[in-house]
Chain A
């Protein structure tokens, strides 16, 4: 412990000297050993205060037990731990399992919501589910066919089920809910189908819809009223969700809400991003296309919007803005600021003032050709005119590619190292605009895409980012996109998985790989850590390749067609030689 502390102290000193940063924050919040929501906490740090697994003993990790989910599609969910139970939700058909931690994961009960089979056809990027949420004795989760379920955490009995969307329009649900003040906050997927995006609050006790805030359309629909005070001029004005589109196009304008929601209790505000505008082809929708590709701050009780910032006005490349906004206080120019930290799809790590939505910094974390930076005066990203999409023309070397520099796979933030751990991909693409016809329930795309490695680099990376210094501290290159989540711990060990099946423990300070284990299939899940009933620290992760990146395996796609999986298949041609489908939970511990 002592040498650990000393080590930590010297790193801290170095960092302080470099950055002039004072470690004002408490280094380790108390931890009860549970993991009750996918992001670990409302701030979305995915940081656990557990420290039994450390830099100097992680090499001894071994499998404690495993569990087959029985579903061979992309496993993106986070295994939750509440008391002596673990809760895991599978991809379609969205089976919810309760496992007994006292009996090496024996099944306590399982709940099968039986979603409509047809939902599989309108799920853009494999039939994934990003996890469930525990609050006050209930487990909440979404089904692919747009039902929000509340299940009794003890008995596995369905308490209520509320249908909030329509698969015949192309709406599905893949995100994990967040529950604040008895409001179950959920959003839709389907930006590839020209659906209309929304965030909906469902009452945790009755299952009744409390409010819905749309991401396009008139202010009244978007719950934009007198409390709305966006920082930038371009977000002020009446009904911009209508006026920033060609007539009526907002009705099929996308801007879905399929990513992460974070919550700042002090301000009583939730933060969440909106996805790409409807039809990927930007020529068909001149205008800023509000409120797509941005971040909303809203009051969770009423849904009323407080501020909005648009990462990509008039998005050109499917650079959704749904990545997690981590609530963390940072030293910016010598001043402690209440910030949001977000590694966005467009390739920038953003630091925003979370009270106003002002951009404090935006720094590229991969090679970017699609844009030339972010103007900090206007807050607007500066598009690269040379890469402007055109109907009938193939634009080459657009970086990042459509899945962005980082897609759904969530980062972790360690208050000990003050580093952001970013699992991400490094891809560029050829992009060709074509005509798009809107036919309800079918894709509304209007582009042909073909992806490949960015600038000759490897296709994936796991890196540690210092948001104050605005630079990468270390990086581990990976052959395939790093499509798994990550977690950080008080033992200064972080974890992530690779698409060819390796689960890795990393020294949070140096990026040294301390231990790795080859699981049965590629890993795209979110690792979690917890204290078992025996008082020991465990680490859990689902193995089972899929998702957009792994669809070439989970969907048996034919990569001779480079445009398969919306162009992702071209970059993943060799994945089938490295991994096969799977669906197994792995739980690790020290001996």
Chain B
């Protein structure tokens, strides 16, 4: 990707949190997830795995240069394939349940519903505009996308981000089916992520084998 198009892709809508001084349930989210240490507490129990994470991903304030590559497309004969990274959260039920909670708390649910889409595209189907690999989904959330996906850069902690990535991918059956959520506490009637019908997801920039 050349520099110019890369800059164009950075134009996700900026976000600002605002608390409006009302002591009602709205605040409880802020109370419960803004102090990251609270959220990180449970990580103490999983910390061995955590330490060894192979991903070299900077916190949300990452330098542009170290951002994951978004597309496989590259000029010239040598194809610079996006490195495949694995996201350990995708084998962990608890992490994915957390991902779902954050997906709702950060209002992804308002634009993408529970995967069926609305203002944003569906996330439970097999079509991916910007790629379904963990690092591509991660990049989508952090950088934002030009047609209205806001950039959550600096809004969501890195650990939460990977949990959200795992949950998002579980919606279309891309994660470990044994670990994906089996039930939903809400109104929902869509098949739970661990029973999404079979289907090969395809990436617009990746030829099918």
Residues of A within 8 A of B (CB): 117-124, 167-168, 192, 246-249, 251-252, 279, 283-284, 391, 394, 430, 432, 434-446, 448-450, 551, 555-566, 569-570
Contact = CB atoms under 8 A, between A and B. Distances in A.
A118 B114 contact: no
B118 interface: yes
B105 A555 contact: no
Interface string B24-37: 11101110000000
Interface residues of B, number: 50
A561 B24 contact: no
5 contacts: A124-B118, A279-B26, A560-B191, A561-B122, A564-B117
A119, A246, A394, A560: residue with the most chain B Cβ atoms closer than 10 Å: A560
Question: Top 9 closest A-B pairs, CB basis?
Answer: A121-B148, A443-B110, A561-B116, A564-B116, A442-B107, A558-B122, A561-B190, A448-B187, A437-B29
A569 B115 CA distance: 12
Given A124-B118, A246-B24, A566-B118, 13 more contacts: A122-B148, A124-B119, A432-B186, A438-B20, A440-B16, A441-B14, A446-B26, A448-B188, A450-B187, A559-B116, A560-B191, A564-B114, A565-B117
A438 B116 contact: no
Nearest to B155: A439
Contact of B26 (A251, A435, A450): A435
B99 interface: no
Interface in B108-156: 109-111, 113-122, 124-125, 127, 146-150, 155
B21 A248 contact: yes
Nearest to A555: B117
Given A434-B186, A560-B116, A563-B116, A439 B17 contact: yes
A121 B119 contact: yes
A118 B11 contact: yes
Contacts of B111: 121, 442-443
A438 B28 CA distance: 11
Contacts of A252: 18, 20
A153 to B, nearest CB: 31
Contacts of B127: 556
B21 A247 contact: yes
A527 B70 CA distance: 45
Given A117-B146, A168-B13, A450-B187, A434 B116 contact: no
B172 to A, nearest CB: 9
B187 A565 contact: no
Contacts of B120: 121
Contacts of B24: 246, 284
B197 to A, nearest CB: 9
B106 A439 contact: yes
B115 to A, nearest CB: 5
A443 B119 contact: yes
Given A284-B25, A562-B188, A437 B107 contact: yes
B75 interface: no
A442 B106 contact: yes
B17 A440 contact: yes
A569 B26 contact: no
A557 B150 CA distance: 19
Nearest to A251: B20
Contacts of B16: 439-441
Contacts of A446: 26
Contacts of B105: 435, 437
Given A118-B13, A121-B13, A247-B22, A562 B110 contact: no
B152 to A, nearest CB: 9
B206 interface: no
Given A117-B148, A118-B148, A441-B15, A563 B187 contact: yes
B11 to A, nearest CB: 6
B189 interface: yes
Contacts of B155: 439
Contacts of B17: 438-440
Nearest to B148: A121
B122 A120 contact: no
B190 to A, nearest CB: 4
Contact of B121 (A434, A440, A555, A562): A555
Nearest to A119: B148
Nearest to B30: A437
A249 B26 CA distance: 11
Contacts of B115: 558, 561, 564
A565 to B, nearest CB: 5
Nearest to A449: B187
Nearest to A395: B187
Contacts of B149: 121
A513 B15 CA distance: 51
Contact of B22 (A246, A437, A443, A448): A246
A115 to B, nearest CB: 11
Contacts of B28: 435
Nearest to B197: A560
Interface string B79-113: 00000000000000000000000001111011101
